[in-house]
Structure 1
């Protein structure tokens, strides 16, 4: 049985127009496995946990240090482990090393660059205390912004739960009439169970959500807001031009005014083309 991450990757690659043979080679599975993943209505429900190698686990941190800090190649690391008492097979060592490289590589998913139309969307949210009907109410504003056109969609909620986050993303996809190929998010528990480089782990429900829409999830590095600057910078504009100094009759009134604010901002075009509003998304 393949992992949820492999299932998500297969559906993402298929959405990009790749054939089953190419996908199978890219993911490292059989073609029948790819076909089964594409036919299935949902991701695999469970996966047998990998069995740790008792001869190599005691050397895990040493291997990681030699790989990331000392930049030793595999044969050098294997030689050093032999000196330290490792007496297992060379094949088992390289399988172990491959897993560690995969773990370390997951943190390299953070990307900050100009993207092509339809390539990338970025998602985040921010809580605000807003005067509504004479009381101060905590409102969470979610935002999905497209990397190329900078078009954005806000969705307001009275809570910041995972369900509300998913609803905020879906509202944006509906507004933009489709899903981007990639979705950049931060390391909130709604998306990432563990953001530690040594044992990065996606939230399963989020992987299933991305797989449903054939999006590739990308996590930003911890404490690196610049990687998601297209999202985090516009929150300043929201605070200064929409929320500050205003009050609202009801939560519904807040949502209607937020929609009008989106229409006004999106109609201005982009910073480099302020008069051009028909830029591809």
Structure 2
């Protein structure tokens, strides 16, 4: 394609007496092109509109719209995996651009980020989920996800539990420490009732004595988030949304054991195998570098009788 400037140059060279072949050599254009624009005079070139390029995602439009209608929070990564299994060969970016047309982006508020050194801190919380197990059709079950995230590498461990009781919390801590092969120097909690008993006027926090004893056995100590500042524990809060969108939505589970089995596979193959958006590192590889900085596990497993403390 040439513009009006090139058309004027062709006309000027012709006025100077150059032949069509000489004009073609001097402008780098084909002789037929030069001849065409000499015949048209100084008329500006016009071009027919380009044929629309077929979007590689379009054949999967029905599937995507149906999935988003049923589960609006499904992540683009999850949908990308689904349509790849259906034969999609396009780039992930093609899908994200397409999804932006289907659902508007959620505005993100500015957040100040707090980073921690290797082996210093892990963050713990519970999130509520509801599901219907295929072994109990029509019965809605409520389950709680205990999640522990290493603050440095973002390595994730979790377990779906039937309750948030103290015994459940303590058993999950033990299993998480054993899974990561060590323990952090402190564990951050969002004022969980099983972790934080209360706080006096001076701001001194009282922790559950049984949990303190367990953490002491592993060389660790509890730390509570500041009141109304749960975002200081965002490394766990955000993974809950990620887990809900990328793992939980659109799946079926036979029973609690199947739920945890699927979740364990997802953690290993997807969550901890991904490149983390904030750190830019592969989570598992980052964890392997952090792991030597963890406090080593004690010689004996914590086996004190677990008792549930009641508040009266």
**Match 1:200 to one of 205, 222, 225:** 205
- Cα displacement (A) at 1:113: 2.3
* Counterpart for residue 250 of structure 1: 255
Structure 2 residues not aligned, in runs of 5+? 1-112, 291-312
Structure 1 residues not aligned, in runs of 5+? 1-111
Bigger Rg, structure 1 or 2: 2
TM-score w.r.t. structure 1 length? 0.57
**Match 1:180 to one of 181, 184, 202:** 184
**Match 2:218 to one of 209, 213, 221:** 213
* Counterpart for residue 267 of structure 2: 262
Distance 1:212 1:232 in 2: 27
Q: Which 4+ runs in 1 deviate beyond 6 A? A: none
Structure 1 residue matching 2:159: 3-state secondary structure = strand
TM-score w.r.t. structure 2 length? 0.52
Structure 1 residue matching 2:187: 3-state secondary structure = strand
- Cα displacement (A) at 1:216: 2.1
Larger RCO: 1 or 2 (CA < 8 Å, sep 6+): 1
* Counterpart for residue 37 of structure 2: none
Deviations 1:146-177 (A, max 9, x none): 01110000111111111111112211111100
* Counterpart for residue 131 of structure 1: 132
**What are the within-5 Å matches in structure 2 for residues 114-153 of structure 1?**
114-133=115-134, 134=137, 135-153=139-157
Deviations 1:97-139 (A, max 9, x none): xxxxxxxxxxxxxxx7211111110111111111212232111
**Contact 1:155 / 1:171 at 8 angstroms: preserved in 2?**
no
Greater percentage in helix: 1
- Cα displacement (A) at 1:277: 3.8
Matched, 1:278 2:285: yes
Structure 2 residue matching 1:184: 3-state secondary structure = strand
**Contact 1:129 / 1:138 at 8 angstroms: preserved in 2?**
yes
Distance 2:255 2:163 in 1: 16
* Counterpart for residue 235 of structure 1: 240
